[in-house]
Amino acid sequence: MTLHRHQLEVGVNEILTQNKISGPTLDFGGDRSIDYGVLPSDRYIINVDSSASPDLLCDITQPWPVTLVKEVQKAKLIVLSELLEHLFDIEDFWNQLASHIKSGTHILISTPFVYHEHGDPFDYRRFTETYLIYLCKRSGWEVVQSRKIGTLGTVVVDLIEKFHPRSKNKKIILYFVKKLLMNQEKNKNSNRVYSGTIILAKATL
């Protein structure tokens, strides 16, 4: 597991625990084998990949079937975790979601920022925290909580682990990365380099 992934799971658990959201959960792009801890095991999963064991096998970039619309309308929590970067047409997906979601429903969004390209099956883009907040507010949603995850050190460590997992110099490199992590708090620009964002929003239509 990458540091980004670990910090993502910790962040999601903390945010959901703090806000005590209960009720039907709809997980777009989720995978039955991935356990966040606080997400219910019986959450309704939508995925285009059958290996994720979804409740509904569906391409969400196409017009939504009635079954999906009904699940969106009854959900109390909608999860979009590490999903948006894999959608070529975000506007179409976002507009469909915004048109069917009920007032009072919470939306949990997470995306990578400074992170290596990955498939599932395609990786199209990265988002800043500012842009995700803009998307939510444009739809009239309240941003309940927003959190940047990871640091420059997180980014560097994950890149080393990804591309040089057996490097003879890895221990030396990681030593200097730890030093960088320790000194980063003193840098006023340190929050500009991060591995991803988590946002909890609430639909207020």
Q: Which domains does the chain have, with CATH numbers?
A: 3-151+195-203 (3.40.50.150)
Among residues 138, 147, 39, 146, the alpha carbon closest in space to that of 90 is found at 138
Whole-angstrom distance, CA of residue 75 vs CA of residue 79: 10
- DSSP designation for 89: -
- 161 neighbors 171 (Cβ within 8 angstroms): no
Q: Per-residue confidence of the chain (205 residues) as pLDDT tens digits?
A: 777 888 888 899 999 999 988 899 999 999 988 777 778 778 999 999 999 999 999 999 999 999 999 999 999 999 999 999 999 989 999 999 999 999 999 999 999 988 888 877 788 999 999 999 999 999 999 999 999 988 777 777 777 777 665 666 666 766 666 666 656 555 555 677 888 999 999 999 7
> The pTM is what?
0.87
Q: How many CA atoms lie within 13 A of 108 on its CB side?
A: 28
